[in-house]
Structure 1
Amino acid sequence: MPSTYTERYIAAVAKTLPPQTQDDVRVELQASIADAVDARIDQGDDPADAERAVLADLGDPAALAAGYADRPLHLIGPRYYLTWLRLLKLLLWIVPICVAGAVALGTTISNAPIGEIIGQTVSVGISVIVHLVFWTTLVFAVLERTGADTGAVWNVDMLAEPEASGSGRSDAIASIVMVVILAGAIVWDRLRGFVLADGEALPILNPDLWPWWVAGLFALLAAEAVLAVVVWARGRWSVGAAIVNTALAVLFVSWGLTLLVRGELVNPEFLAFVVEAGGDGFAAGDAGAAEQGGVLRILAVLTGFVIVGISAWDAIDGWRKTRRAARA
């Protein structure tokens, strides 16, 4: 004899429940379904139509069983969602950038072609992002189903101070002071030098950069100071200010990398002094790294990455402050 819809529905609900609760659920469901069907019949519904309507109102038996078993039907619920989201954002801001930067630095030092550098950096960066999202989500999904406590409990002490817009007087003063210090260091390096070799001052920057290349650098520094004053006078960052700040960062990177690639940024006499001061061990190390262009080339690559990194952060910071000011 074929089973009724009610029997099939109850069986579908009970089969995913723990054995010790199945009988109780069967009895409860049988009674509640029968009462609901009788109520519809009393209102004039056909018995078969009444049974189908009641079961349709109860919904998917798997969802009903999850309710009886207190089993979540979501990957990550509200209990863990905010902790998962905050941790994932933090990891995605830090890990892919660090890993991609390390890959780019390593492949550049190994003198790889530019296409290989870009390809490996992008592929590794994407792979890291995928792994971070997958494994972080998997961990929180397991926590959701085991009911483990993450220990993350919100309290009022976690309320952050309002973020500064980066347009205060102290920010403008700090920017101007940094510009003055850097300009003073460049002049000091030219006139007095930071290194003494045989009692004589030895500049680190190439003296041949004077006057025009250094004048260009001073112009960029002056523009940076003017931008800080303008932002302070207006009381907030704007899209225009962020664009100008990004353009100055790009120009600084172009200035530094052009001279670095051409081998004109650092004083050749200073490099010779470094090699001589390092002794035979340094020279041997330089020769041993010949496949990568020598120790001095490796140092040049590191310098280039520092220049790009500082400029990129300055540009990003300007856009962050612009977004913050727009929200405010």
Structure 2
Amino acid sequence: MKFSSKLIRWYEKHGRKDLPWQIDKTPYKVWISEIMLQQTQVVTVIPFYSAFINRFPNIQELATSSEEEVMSFWSGLGYYSRARNIYKTAQILQKKFESKLPSSLSQLISLPGIGPSTAGAILSLGYKKRAPILDANVKRVLARYKKIEGDLSKALNIKTLWRISESLTPEEKVDLYNQAIMDLGALVCTKSSPKCRICPVSRDCIAFNKKLIQVLPRKKLTKQKPFKTVFWLVVMNKNGKVLLKKRNNLGVWKGLWSFLESENIQALGKECLTMFKKRKKDLKTYPDINHSFSHLNLNAKLFLLKLNEDINYNINKGKYVWVDKKGLKALGIPTPVKNIFEVLKLNDQTS
């Protein structure tokens, strides 16, 4: 029996069939779910996906919304460039493709944020057209099955894996096959605890037969992440609302809303004096906040400033906003900032 036939038969008995994006499946739902699932676990994605699709049920609704609103529904999911690319693509689709995802590989990969594997998923799962895929789960399955050694992020190995994926993708039932190989990687051929005894293709798996399962794929040499310290000023007015500032279009949180940020305590003190006529002695210190990104570790020194005076501070309304906890839902907010509202009990009758 062929590799693809074994996987399809296994999937029909054991595969996942009740994930939100598998119900009333459309190319649009496949696209959104595939983008959300990049570097993010299924259990994390499910509530975000459900809320997103409920608000943006189709490309037309997505394209006619604002980027700010799209970011608010992505808030907490991370890797925010994904949301920005989704919004850009929706607008292109509205203008050039009658608010529909194209059904050709070349047109799909020309769109922001859609690479060959995402395009393959849209074509196969959404349109039932033959197209190979190569997400993280598929890479692991194929690297073990064909014993591909070396760093899988290297161009030569990626090219080899694509060639293997193409050769194994069947002409028929391609939607079932691609879902099957993704599920096999997620449920059986896992990264740390592979269940080879129940794998439908272990008999022909080179890594299994050569007892190399635990060492393949080879672990990529990781560099130590740099460490960055910032100083955050949490400003609360007498009504209990907190001041947030829209970040510039640089960095991982570009365009999101955060607290006033300085690189050192002196700069923070200067900003406090300039904007609010307050000094460092007026600030209350809180324990540090630590957050790990894929590329760096962030340490935030946290200071709270309560304003009791009824003063009309000179604040640019397009760049700053006073917000309570309920108002956070309408803004794109990084997870650490959301968490600080809980840590400091902001807007909860703080004394």
TM range (shorter): under 0.3
Structure of larger gyration radius = 1
Higher helix share: 1
Higher strand share: 2
Kindly indicate whether structure 1 or structure 2 has the higher relative contact order, using CA contacts under 8 Å at least 6 residues apart: 2
